[in-house]
Amino acid sequence: MGKGFYYTLETEDIKAYMGLSVEKKIEWLEELFILTNEAQTEKEKRVREKFRADNE
């Protein structure tokens, strides 16, 4: 396998996410951002921001 990662989602998980309100989805995304931001090194954060800037 090349660089990156691979994962699958169960149909039940997708349906559960689809059933969330917009507010709950935003809350979930904010929590995920906080978690990943705290786990990333400064170098990883710079790379992430470069990808974001390149796609705007």
Average confidence (pLDDT) per 10 residues, the chain, 56 residues = 80 95 96 93 91 78
Residue ranges per structural domain of the chain: 20-54
Measured between alpha carbons, how far is 12 from 5 in angstroms, rounded to an integer?
22
pLDDT for the residue 52? 84
pTM of the complete model:
0.60
- Per residue, what are the HEC states of the chain? CCCCCCCCCCHHHHHHHHCCCHHHHHHHHHHHHHHHHHHCCHHHHHHHHHHHHHCC
pLDDT for the residue 1? 53
| Cβ atoms of 28 and 20 closer than 8 Å | yes
